C-alpha cells in the first residue's frame, strides 16, 4: 500500500514510517519539522542526538535499498497539502502531525491557540483534501485516551449504548479532556466523524495511551536512525521521563498522590497497531474508534517499577511526590476496554523488567546530554 505518514519526523511517526517501509509498503513522510523548532524555542532537546530528516532517510536507503519520499511543509497550508497528495496518491494517510504536549498547550493563551489552530485546522484540511482528491483514501488518525478523561464508569471504544427514559441509542462516548491539547483531539474526532457521515470518508481514530520506549527493530539498526526521546517537563512523558531521571540520579517526579491511572504501550506496539489499522481499512462512511494501549498503570506504580529496575542495575532511585502542576484527579476509577486491536491480531509487548533495563541502559548511555534544569515541571494549569 502507499502510505503517507504525516508527522513522520516525530517520535511515533519516525518509528512507524521505517516499520511500514521495512514491511514492503510504499511510504512517504510529510512533516513541517515544527517540532524541532518548538524544541529550539523552549531550549529543550531530545535525549538522543537525532539526525536531520534528509540524512535519516539517506541512511535508511543506504542500509535497506528502500526509498521513503519526503514532503516538507505544513498541513495548515492547503495548497502544499493538496500538491503532496496529488504527487504521492496514498491509499492510507497516517496522521501524527500535531502539537502533542498537554503542558505546551497550557503555557499561555498563545500556546493554547497555536495548539488548537495547528491541530484542528491541519486535520480539517486533511479531511477536505481527502474528499476533494482521494475520496477512497483511509485516514488513520492519532487521537488520545485522554479524550475520555477519567469517568467513574468503564471506558468503551469510542461509543456507549445508553438507555434513557425508556429509549436506547449507541452514542459517542462522553469526552472530558484535561488540557487544551487533549481538547484539540476531541475537536478533531468530532470533525472526522462528521466528515465520515456526510461525505462517506473512511477513518480510524486511534485513541492512543502514553507511549514508552525508544528502540524498534528499524530505529535500532544504526545511530543515524535513532529516534527522539523526550525527557523535559513539557514534552517528556511519564515512564520515559522516569527512566531518564533514574539514570541521572534525579528523584522521580510523581505529581501529587500518583494514583493517576493511564493506558500505556510500548513503541513497538504503536507501529504494529498502525500497520493493523492500515491493513484493515474502515468501510466507506465508517468512523471507527480503537483504544490503543496494552496495559493500565498508575503513575506511582510506574515510579516503583523504575525504582526496582534501577536497583537491579545498581542505580539508587528516589521517588518524590511533588505539587501537582496540573488539575486532575489523583485517585480515581479507571477501566478502559482495548480489545479491538487485539482482535485484529495485536500481540502486545507488555512492560517487562528487560524493557525497563534496556531503557535505563539507553538513558545512561546518553545521560551526558541531559539538562537537569529541564526536569521539573514549569507549566501550571492554573
Give catalytic residue positions.
144, 181, 185
Does residue 209 belong to the site contacting ligand USQ (CB under 6 A)? yes
Q: Choose the contact partner of 263 out of ligand NAD, ligand USQ, none; CB within 5 to 8 A by kind.
A: ligand USQ
Q: Choose the contact partner of 260 out of ligand NAD, ligand USQ, none; CB within 5 to 8 A by kind.
A: ligand USQ
Does residue 145 belong to the site contacting ligand USQ (CB under 6 A)? yes
Set of cell numbers at residue 230 = 523526550
Nearer to ligand USQ, 227 or 253 (CB): 253
3-state SS assignment for residue 263: strand
Cα–Cα distance between 192 and 205 in angstroms, integer? 8
**Closest separation in Å from C-beta 48 to ligand USQ:** 17
CB 50 within 8 A of CB 116: no
**Closest separation in Å from C-beta 184 to ligand NAD:** 9
Nearer to ligand USQ, 16 or 84 (CB): 16
Cα–Cα distance between 8 and 16 in angstroms, integer? 8
CB 129 within 8 A of CB 247: no
Site string for ligand USQ, 277-316 (x = CB under 6 A): ----------------------x-----------------
Q: Choose the contact partner of 35 out of ligand USQ, ligand NAD, none; CB within 5 to 8 A by kind.
A: ligand NAD
Of 341, 160, 186, 192, which Cα lies nearest the Cα of 263? 341
Q: Could you tell me where the DSSP H helices lie in the chain?
A: 11-22, 34-42, 53-64, 78-88, 102-105, 109-116, 122-133, 180-199, 238-248, 267-279, 299-312, 340-343, 353-365
Which positions touch ligand NAD (CB under 6 A)? 7, 9-13, 31-35, 74-76, 96-100, 118, 122, 142, 144, 208, 210-211, 228, 237
Does residue 44 belong to the site contacting ligand USQ (CB under 6 A)? no
Please enumerate in sequence order all residues whose Cβ is within 8 A of that of 17, keeping only pairs 6 or more positions apart, or say none.
5, 8, 27, 29, 68
Q: Which residue has the cell 500500500?
A: 1
Nearer to ligand USQ, 129 or 264 (CB): 264
Residue 75 dihedral angles phi and psi, to the nearest 5°: -70, -15
Site string for ligand USQ, 102-121 (x = CB under 6 A): x-------------------
Nearer to ligand NAD, 10 or 325 (CB): 10
Q: Choose the contact partner of 205 out of ligand NAD, ligand USQ, none; CB within 5 to 8 A by kind.
A: none
3-state SS assignment for residue 140: strand
Amino acid at each position: 500500500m502507499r502510505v503517507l505518514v504525516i508527522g513522520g519526523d516525530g517520535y511515533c511517526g519516525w518509528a512507524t514510517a521505517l516499520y511500514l517501509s521495512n514491511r514492503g509498503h510504499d511510504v512517504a513522510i510529510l512533516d513541517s519539522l515544527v517540532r524541532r523548532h518548538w524544541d529550539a524555542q523552549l531550549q529543550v532537546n531530545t535525549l538522543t542526538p537525532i539526525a536531520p530528516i534528509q540524512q535519516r532517510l539517506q541512511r535508511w536507503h543506504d542500509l535497506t535499498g528502500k526509498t521513503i519520499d519526503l514532503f516538507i511543509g505544513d498541513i495548515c497550508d492547503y495548497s502544499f497539502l493538496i500538491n503532496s497528495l496529488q504527487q504521492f496518491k496514498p491509499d492510507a494517510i497516517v496522521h501524527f502531525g500535531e502539537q502533542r504536549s498537554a503542558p505546551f498547550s497550557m503555557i499561555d493563551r498563545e500556546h493554547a491557540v497555536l495548539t488548537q489552530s495547528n491541530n484542528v485546522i491541519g486535520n480539517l484540511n486533511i479531511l477536505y483534501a481527502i474528499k476533494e482528491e482521494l475520496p477512497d483514501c483511509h485516514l488513520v488518525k492519532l487521537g488520545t485516551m485522554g479524550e475520555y478523561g477519567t469517568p467513574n464508569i468503564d471506558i468503551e471504544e469510542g461509543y456507549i449504548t445508553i438507555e434513557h427514559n425508556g429509549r436506547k441509542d449507541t452514542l459517542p462516548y462522553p469526552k472530558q479532556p484535561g488540557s487544551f491539547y487533549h481538547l484539540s483531539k476531541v475537536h478533531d474526532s468530532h470533525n472526522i466523524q462528521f466528515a465520515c457521515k456526510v461525505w462517506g470518508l473512511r477513518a480510524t481514530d486511534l485513541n492512543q495511551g502514553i507511549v514508552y520506549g525508544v528502540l524498534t527493530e528499524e530505529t535500532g539498526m544504526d545511530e543515524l536512525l535513532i529516534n527522539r526521546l523526550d525527557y523535559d517537563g513539557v514534552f517528556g512523558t511519564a515512564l520515559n521521563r522516569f527512566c531518564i531521571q533514574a539514570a541521572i540520579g534525579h528523584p522521580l517526579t510523581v505529581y501529587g498522590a500518583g494514583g493517576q491511572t493511564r493506558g500505556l504501550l510500548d513503541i513497538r506496539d504503536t507501529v504494529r497497531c498502525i500497520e493493523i489499522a492500515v491493513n484493515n481499512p474502515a468501510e466507506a462512511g465508517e468512523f471507527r474508534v480503537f483504544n490503543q494501549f496494552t496495559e493500565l498503570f498508575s503513575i506511582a506504580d510506574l515510579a516503583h517499577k523504575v525504582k526496582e529496575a534501577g536497583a537491579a542495575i545498581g542505580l539508587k532511585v528516589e521517588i518524590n511526590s511533588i505539587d501537582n502542576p496540573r488539575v486532575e484527579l489523583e485517585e480515581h476509577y479507571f477501566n478502559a476496554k482495548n480489545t479491538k486491536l487485539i482482535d485484529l491480531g495485536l500481540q502486545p509487548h507488555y512492560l517487562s523488567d528487560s524493557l525497563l533495563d534496556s531503557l535505563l541502559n539507553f538513558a545512561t548511555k546518553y545521560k551526558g546530554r541531559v539538562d537537569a534544569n529541564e526536569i521539573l515541571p514549569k507549566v501550571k494549569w492554573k
